[in-house]
């Protein structure tokens, strides 16, 4: 759901701005790739990622020196400067007058759709919407913040720091049990992960287990005055306190996991990005859906549903990628491809040799279970080792992008 200038920007969330007058060098190949011109005024955003500033310009992240950070503002306007030596740089400048915004180069050529739902918005407000959309749509891949946050005990520890038993009960209701998992439970989790926007657009009530709504409520609760903690301070503290600890910290006690406010926001942005990319994929006649299953008795499981466009003479091909981690089985990746409505091809990667061997021994049992469900397993490849790096499974083009501002 995107509302306002900094769509889904949260209260007290601010973006640092470069000190006015300083030049930020930019590599010539990047300048050519972004089609920058001398004297051109472009609009970008600056965000903190683990305490390191990152300038987002046309979907590209440009590293920014810390000493160039100055006052705080929601957006960043930059003037393109060609140096006497033939290089390129960006210089912070003032926001153009409203009347001149039509002459300002948009954030990115693919990000200039007709936004019918924001036709009545003030023109000065639109660039910030584009900026937020670009941050979400072109979010670079990396380790999942949601998976880290959904590890058993991590989000629980953070929720205990706020006086919101309703949020704790909501989180407990969202967690599955690996020992008692059922198709019905998976179906409910999938419905929750679709997001409140989907169900509201269909005239149905929002699910109580929407993970994005839970994180948003937790963020707002942590920002409330009675918490007595500044979100900006929590973002920048080098030493986490006793009750809210950094994920992955070497000093973190195993029996007392926790999460920082910044990691909570990163996880929220990850869920928001997945929704924006799903809508963009739909506009490109594709299917892309990402979700993370939280368990009370096991590590979270990441799922990606993917369907690319195919020729009319080809059967639809749905790919489901599953990634799990546990102390017993180690990292396991399972790629399932369903062609048409019956034929299945499976590929599994397991880093532990005994897990791969066990899968081979029980592959015939899996084939029999699939046949009972009306499916035919054509192949099952089992690889001892980590899944190799693969190209990005989705490249957004921006074609047909429409933002529903009223949901």
Answer for the pair 150, 209: CB distance below 8 angstroms, yes or no. no
Q: Quick: pLDDT tens for 260-275.
A: 788 888 899 999 989 8
HSE of 66 in the Cβ direction (CA atoms, 13 Å)? Answer: 6
Q: What is the DSSP letter of 351?
A: S
Of 291, 337, 335, 333, which Cα lies nearest the Cα of 310?
Answer: 337
User: Which parts of the chain sit beneath pLDDT 70?
Assistant: 1-21, 47-54, 59, 63-75, 96-132, 225-259, 390-407
Cα distances from 184 to residues 122, 123, 164, 187, 322, in angstroms, run 46, 47, 28, 5, 18
Answer for the pair 397, 110: CB distance below 8 angstroms, yes or no. yes
Instruction: For 239, list phi and psi in degrees, rounded to 5.
Output: -110, 110
Separation between Cα atoms, residue 134 and residue 78, nearest integer Å: 16
Q: Which residues pair with 90 in a beta bridge?
A: 24, 80
Instruction: For 376, list phi and psi in degrees, rounded to 5.
Output: -115, 120
pLDDT of residue 105: 42
Tokens 């590590």, residue located = 299
Q: How many CB atoms lie within 10 A of CB 196?
A: 19
Q: Quick: pLDDT tens for 19-68.
A: 445 788 888 888 887 888 888 888 877 766 655 566 777 767 776 654 44
Separation between Cα atoms, residue 135 and residue 115, nearest integer Å: 17
pLDDT of residue 90: 85
pLDDT of residue 388: 87
**Beta strand 287-293 pairing with 301-307:** antiparallel
Instruction: For 71, list phi and psi in degrees, rounded to 5.
Output: -75, 180
Separation between Cα atoms, residue 333 and residue 347, nearest integer Å: 8
Q: What is the DSSP letter of 295?
A: B
pLDDT of residue 258: 53
Give residue 385's region: left, alpha or beta (phi > 0; psi -120 to 50): left
């Amino acid at each position: 759901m995107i509302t306002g200038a900094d769509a889904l920007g949260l209260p007290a969330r601010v973006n640092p701005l470069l000190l006015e007058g300083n030049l930020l060098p930019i590599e010539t190949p990047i300048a050519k790739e972004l089609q920058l011109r001398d004297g051109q005024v472009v609009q970008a955003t600056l965000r903190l990622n683990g305490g390191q500033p990152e300038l987002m310009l046309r979907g590209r992240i440009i590293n920014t020196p810390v000493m160039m950070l100055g006052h705080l503002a929601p957006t960043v306007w930059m003037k393109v400067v060609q140096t006497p030596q033939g290089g390129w740089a960006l210089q912070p400048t003032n926001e153009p007058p409203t009347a001149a915004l039509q002459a300002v180069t948009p954030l990115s050529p693919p990000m200039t759709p007709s936004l019918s739902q924001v036709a009545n918005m003030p023109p000065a407000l639109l660039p910030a919407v584009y900026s937020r959309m670009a941050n979400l749509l072109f979010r670079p891949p990396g380790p999942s913040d949601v998976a880290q946050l959904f590890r058993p005990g991590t989000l629980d520890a953070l929720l205990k720091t706020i006086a919101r038993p309703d949020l704790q009960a909501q989180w407990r209701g969202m967690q599955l049990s690996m020992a008692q998992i059922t198709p019905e439970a998976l179906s409910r989790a999938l419905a929750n992960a679709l997001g409140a926007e989907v169900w509201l657009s269909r005239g149905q009530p929002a699910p109580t287990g929407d993970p994005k709504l839970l994180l948003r409520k937790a963020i707002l609760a942590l920002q409330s005055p009675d918490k007595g903690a500044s979100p900006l301070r929590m973002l920048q503290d080098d030493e986490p306190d006793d009750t809210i600890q950094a994920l992955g910290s070497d000093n973190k006690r195993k029996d007392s996991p926790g999460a920082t406010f910044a990691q909570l926001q990163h996880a929220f942005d990850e869920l928001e990005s997945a929704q924006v990319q799903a809508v963009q994929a739909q506009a490109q006649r594709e299917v892309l859906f990402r979700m993370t299953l939280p368990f009370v008795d096991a590590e979270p499981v990441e799922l990606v549903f993917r369907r690319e466009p195919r020729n009319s003479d080809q059967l639809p091909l749905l790919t489901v990628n599953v990634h799990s981690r546990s102390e017993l089985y180690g990292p396991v990746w399972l790629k399932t491809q369903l062609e048409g409505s019956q034929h299945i091809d499976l590929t599994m990667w397991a880093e532990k040799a005994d897990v791969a061997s066990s899968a081979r021994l029980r592959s015939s049992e899996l084939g029999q279970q699939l046949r009972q469900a009306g499916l035919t397993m054509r192949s099952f490849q089992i690889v001892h080792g980590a899944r190799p790096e693969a190209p990005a499974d989705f490249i957004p083009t921006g074609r047909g992008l429409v933002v529903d501002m009223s949901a």
